[in-house]
Structure 1
Amino acid sequence: MNIEKIQTQKISEAVEEQIEKMIVSGAFQAGEKLPSVRELCDMFGVGRSAVRDAITTLKGKGIVNVRRGEGAFICQFDCTKLFASSVLLPSFDDIQELFQVRKILEAGIAEMAALHRTEHDLQSLKKILSDESAERWEADYEFHLALAKAAKNDILIQFIQFISEMMKKTMVDFHIYVEKNNSIIKIIAEQHEEIYETIKNRDCKRANEAMIYHLNYVEKLLQR
């Protein structure tokens, strides 16, 4: 017979669990300040060291942010924390997988942008497309980021920023390469204009298709 040993739980761990449950239940909201250490001691009937240890653990998990002299605050959700940061450059296989993610993600973003865009969003997109003084990498990044903003979803914006940062070196090199070929520059510009027009006309289906077509074209160029 296999019998598991009974685990004893530290008081600080119990306090930590209780605070987490209160956050999940909505008793504490993102950005809200936790009660003071003394108030938490009274609330749970425990000593100050147990509360301090619990807050330290929650800070390590990225659940709370401790500000000196102010207290502990519930952190906002940040999807980029789902990914481990790395100083390594992505491999060829990584680039292919990132483009797979981009096609799934940005096709949906284009649809949502067509549905939710405002006149201000259109002005921002048009300004990016007409700015010939900007670096091509930066203009390309700003265009795709502006589409994510037009989709009106903060988490999608964070995903685009994360993927763009991962691919930055590759895309900078890519734009240096295409600068030697005016026909490629023209095709990419036309594809961006086509995406813009679908967003402007609120054509969700066509926006999805235009984005997939554009990303397929860029991916094929990268594979060369």
Structure 2
Amino acid sequence: MKAIPQFKVRKTYDEVADYLKEQIMNGTYKPGDRLPSLRELSELLGVGQSTIREAVSSLKTMGLVTIRHGEGTFVTRFDPEEIMSGFEQIQPVTKQDILSLLEARKIIETGIARLAAERRSKEKLKNIEEALKEMEQAVAKEELGDKADLKFHYEIARASHNPVLEFIMQSISETMGKALKASREKMFQTKGYPEQLLAEHRNIFEAIAGKNPKKAEEAMLNHLLGVERELFD
């Protein structure tokens, strides 16, 4: 086990749970690994064993660990694809279905954009920029550019460095892409709309490039609200 600094003050079980959760999510404890015993964690973190027990129970409720009596506590094998497998079967057909998906995107993608602005690496930013250039080329050729659009949003999710959000975004984007292809064709017949859409995506990119989480969040929300207005107003 890697060295863990001892807490200077007594922590509540939820704070200990958050700490252990972070250790699991960042790979310090990998799927299948056995966590140190209650006594070991108590000594390492400077809290009572009852606090550790409650924290581990909380992690079990989250599905992050499995407790095997007589053996110890083990990190659960976590697979984001499995979580999303049911969602991928959604086939939106009604106006309300599409509105529900747009609502989900407004909640999820604004947060993703914020995280991407905070965490993006030069490599991930380059991937987003490449998708934006593909969109620019599509507009110049008067093409739909739906694949480039999908790629743009997915690369932002990758830049957030959160695998769960990445899988969620992939599923939502693909579902929306299939559902809105006909609508996209209709929207692109509106004069100036392709250029407007491109400008909205450029604003998102520039906010992420500038590491401005607030502007990235606002730019993404403005874009998704625009899509909603264009579809249903």
Normalization by structure 1: what TM-score?
0.63
Matches within 5 A, 1:44-123: 76-78=79-81, 79-83=83-87, 85-86=89-90, 88-123=91-126
Aligned residues: 156
Structure 1 vs Structure 2 CA RMSD:
2.5
Contact 1:136 1:175 in 2 (8 A): no
Distance 1:95 1:199, change over 3 A: same
1:169 matches 2:178 = yes
Is the 8 Å Cα contact of residues 90 and 166 (structure 1) preserved in structure 2?
no
The question of 1:205 aligning with 2:209 is answered: no
1:172, distance to aligned residue in structure 2 (A): 1.5
- Partner of 1:90, secondary structure, is coil
Q: CA, structure 1 residues 77+185, in 2 after alignment: closer, same or farther (shift >3 Å)?
A: closer
TM-score by length of 2: 0.60
User: Which of 122, 126, 129 is the matching residue for 1:126?
Assistant: 129
**2:231 corresponds to:** 222
CA contact (8 A) 2:131 2:152 kept: yes
Gaps of 5+ in 2: 1-29, 34-76
Alpha carbons 1:114, 1:203 under 8 Å: kept: yes
Deviation at 1:95, TM superposition (A): 0.8
C-alpha spacing 1:149/1:77, structure 2 compared with 1 (3 Å): closer
Q: Deviations over 1:155-180 (max 9, x none)?
A: 11111111123222332123212332
Is residue 194 from structure 1 mapped to residue 197 from structure 2 by the alignment? no
The letter of the residue matching 1:81 is S
Change (3 A) 1:84 1:139: closer
Deviation at 1:198, TM superposition (A): 0.3
Point out the more displaced range, 157-166 or 147-156. Answer: 157-166
Supply the distance in 2 between the matched residues of 1:90 and 1:164 (Cα, whole angstroms).
Answer: 15
- Give the residue type in structure 2 aligned to 1:149: R
Return the offset for 1:125.
1.3
